[in-house]
Chains A and B, each alone.
Chain A
Amino acid sequence: MSDISAEQVRHLANLARIDLSDAEIATMTTELGQIMEAVASVQAVATPDVPATSHPIPLKNVYRPDVVADVIPTDKALASAPEHDGSRFKVSAILGEEQ
């Protein structure tokens, strides 16, 4: 059975700034529950000798040297911004703060 509640879905939607209707939350709860069940069945198969991985290909240590390369000109960077002051992006004041 699904171990995700409608309340958790509502909380997640809120964190993700997605406005969901009650009907959408009900649908999402069912669907996310099914996904969780699928994950649970994979977890049941995985034994301790199978290390967790976040990548399908076992690559590691992909680095770049500490050398400066081209930057975007400021005007180009700002070109697609809805609002700017000529050098900085203008955003609405948000009640919050740096994390």
Chain B
Amino acid sequence: MKKEKNRKLIQLYAALLYNAHLKGYIEGDIYTGDIKAICVPGLNCYSCPGAIGACPLGALQNALASSGNRAPYYVLGILLVFAVTFGRTICGWLCPAGLVQELVYKIPTPKLVKNRITHVFSYLKYIILIIFVIAIPLWYSIQKLPLPAFCKYICPAGTLGGAVQLLAHPTNADKFPMLGALFTKKWIILILLLCMSVFIYRVFCRFLCPLGAIYSLFNRFSLIGICVNQDKCTNCGQCTASCSMDTKMAGDHECIQCGKCINECNHNAITFQAGKYVIMGGEEAKENTEKIKRITKREKTIAASIMAALLCVALVFSNFLPMQKEPAVPANTSYGHEKGQQAVDFTLATVDGKSFHLKEYRGKVVVLNLWATWCTPCVNELPYFEKLHRAHPDDVVVLAIHSDLVTDDVQEYLSGYSYTFPFAVDEDGKTIASLGGSTMLPQTIILDKDGVVTYNQVGSVTYEMLETLVDAAS
């Protein structure tokens, strides 16, 4: 019981460490600091308001989607280090998604235990890994469309951690009109998985999680995890019979290294080890030997202190250090990016070598689109702006402004398309900040003939919407 309690505490610790940006829940926005480039080991959506690190699965899909330009060495390196060190110990001890499922499973109801069917279904996660995490992003990367297919179509962590927590905040009430078919599907998937988690132990981990599938490939070799002493093991099968996962043997690819089997083994044959160090189990081997060493109480205290210090640093760093850019808005409050305010004048260099001065277009309706090459909805709606530009060559000006966060050569990217309206790159991010650019893309801003903001919203637009908005601004 004590071991299970310790495991729960470590799971809670990991969930808090990954989501240390508590200010995000108060302000309704995500953390944008540089430490977000570091991937956390478990499944934790980086669009969650509290997330201070990147999700390894989301990072992998996006890296593969950008692989037309560069190979995803960074993400692969991180995954290799995590997998070899921990294997599926991450699933059992360090994953918030696993914690949520285990807590939901505690609701006392009849349960569906493992059987041959669940064992067969446990291989579904490998199919999901191959199709949704690897194949689809790679296929779309050829067409220069970054598509994180698993995140977009299946992942419940994004819906629960990202959508629900962001939309629950009053400041994000304007995001509700963006919800449509995709959110409906993902919301239903989330509810179904939560419902099934009540009756089936770790249903997502066992059948759907591609991150678990990746880690399972290294489970037998991982430095930290379950070890079975073959000299003591009598093959009674008690360990696998008591295991809630679809294991065939302790420590195999389905084992999440939770250590539950340690208590079930009547022969003390199972231990939880970090290399040569025994952390749990093997009670008979009290003395240190050449082959096995026990973690002492002092070492445990030092490890706990380091963990506590790490959490404190994460909490302070992510909540109290400034990281947001200040918008370049004059002191005169009539200037700004809100509806009814005068837009701040700006000058940007366009990718064709010319420059765009907003002031020069007084007397015309100006349509500004904030986009990025790494944003699929942005890329998908560019043709609508092209159509608008061609339909109103004299009275409407369209400008697409690329985020200062550039991953590709924008000019080279655009050379594959035949857009005729101007594109600019906001190199220092000040123009986007003055237009009220947020952490979400795409964003469309429409200015009337006097340069006053008539529309400024995050979200995809259609051609019909653009026509309606331009008519209103005229």
Do A and B truly interact?
A: no
